[in-house]
Amino acid sequence: MSDRPAITAETITNDIVGPCLRPPTIVWLGAFGAAQMMAGLMFLAVLMYCIEGYGIFGPDNAVNWANDIASYVFWIGIAVAGTLVSSILFLFRQRWRTGINRATEAMTVFAINIAGIYPLIHTGRPWVDYWLIPHPNTLSLWPQFKSPIVWDVFAITGYATASVIFFYVGLIPDFATVRDRATRPWQKLLYGMLAMGWRGTASNWRHYERAYTQFAWIATPLVIGMHSTIATLLAVSHVPGWHATIFPPYFVSGAIFGGLAMALLLLVSMRSLMKLDRYITIDHLERLAKIMLGVGCIVTYVYLVEFFSAWYSESTPERDQFIYRVTGAHAWAFWLMIVCNVAVLQLFWFKAMRRNLAVLVLVGICVNIGMWFERFNIIVQSLEHEHLPANWTYYAFTSWDYIILAGSFGIFLTQFLLFCKVAPVVSIAEVKAHLLKPQKGVDHG
């Protein structure tokens, strides 16, 4: 580390812009190829689904919401944390966000792209999904606004629109920097179009800061509203284990928890592979770990409240549902969730663990596994052990369930690797304002 040049405006620009203009490395090409192979599985699964029908995924009459809806809620949760953390830290003027905000915002956009696929295929006939859009048509059909799946359409499209604009607005000054550093004509043309005529004037910066602030204000309540809508989708039913008023805050806190775990994994990887340890520091990662610990305590409290509410309700189906989760056929999934989301998280009480990259990666992986199984427990276990014993069943994955789940991670990694190659993964202007000491009489924004 001692032979590295001191941090100046020039070194910051070179370190962050360099990967966008240099040819891809062998490591990047290998990771991208692997991600592409996994992404191909998703397209294969959806193609077979369109040909053979929804039954290839293994649902039955009782568990007709299974892997696809569990994965949908999982990816929505990943999408929630990115924009929420970035916008809240910005609104509270937390300068340490400079190392993490760009990656978390990108994570939001890419995750919500994947999440949107699942409700569309779950309709059974994805080629007529445009019927969900409220527009006049020759059949005089209108969406059933009492249906929760229509709520999803409005919640996801509204949140996705705000998140994409929030993410893109933050990139505009950095795209202009890459444009000015580019040497190849096609790069100048591409980044010139993406920069939208940015010149870095006082007027540009004034309008940029106003727009970015406004979208931060808009995105914050949209995040909470969107995931609360998805939680309400389940809470309005009378299925044991779902019909609970705690579901909206439960889903929001769980989404932030799982999203932060994914952000930790991505930031540690970027920090190591792109040599950004001076901009994504161990202090940034430790602060994220502290937030994860706080939100994880809320999630643990909700787990306890669920069991208490089931006991206090004096409802036999409700009590039986939670006994079944602990002792039933899928009890292993429940206990795996507890180990990953509660037990492993306790490592973060110790400062040495929060500053250890291996521990951060371990906890990040465990929490992502645990949060997926949380959704599996909520969806599958509640449906396979409903009110009527005659409807009780056992849900099992088919090979296509595994394939489409692996494919969703492939699409996510493909998008993120492309982002790391074509866009500055850390905000250049914000890093300069944070790391470089302002001179007297000079306003650095």
DSSP assignment string, 126-173: GGGGGGGS----TT-----TTSHHHHHHHHHHHHHHHHHHHHHHHHHH
Backbone angles phi, psi at 134, to 5 degrees: -75, 85
Q: At what angle do helices 9-21 and 148-181 cross, to 10 degrees?
A: 110
Task: Give 246's DSSP letter.
Answer: T
Tally Cβ neighbours within 10 Å of residue 360.
Answer: 25
Dihedral sign, CA of 310, 315, 320, 321? negative
Pair of tokens at residue 395: 């849900």
Please list the ranges in the chain whose pLDDT falls under 70: 1-5, 132, 134-144, 148-149, 437-445
Q: State how far the alpha carbon of 391 is from the alpha carbons of 58, 215, 379, in Å.
A: 16, 47, 15
Asked if 118 contacts 405 with a C-beta cutoff of 8 angstroms, the reply is no
Q: Which residue has the tokens 């932060």?
A: 260
Supply the pLDDT for residue 444: 40
Task: Give 342's DSSP letter.
Answer: I
Distance CA 231, CA 225 (A): 10
11 Cβ partners below 8 Å, 6+ apart? 5
Supply the pLDDT for residue 142: 66
Distance CA 82, CA 226 (A): 14
Q: Give the Cα-Cα-Cα angle 126, 130, 138 (nearest 5 degrees).
A: 125
Supply the pLDDT for residue 136: 64
Tally Cβ neighbours within 10 Å of residue 21.
Answer: 14
Supply the pLDDT for residue 75: 92
Asked if 222 contacts 88 with a C-beta cutoff of 8 angstroms, the reply is no
Asked if 253 contacts 299 with a C-beta cutoff of 8 angstroms, the reply is yes
Largest distance between two CA atoms of the chain? 78
Asked if 241 contacts 378 with a C-beta cutoff of 8 angstroms, the reply is yes
Supply the pLDDT for residue 437: 59
Distance CA 267, CA 362 (A): 14
Backbone angles phi, psi at 371, to 5 degrees: -70, -35
Supply the pLDDT for residue 1: 44
Helix and strand numbers (H, E) in the chain are: 17, 0
Q: At 380, which helix (H) or strand (E)?
A: none
Distance CA 176, CA 95 (A): 22
Compute the half-sphere exposure of residue 97: CA atoms within 13 Å on the CB side of its CA. 19
7-48 per-position pLDDT tens digit: 788 888 888 888 888 888 899 999 999 999 999 998 898 889
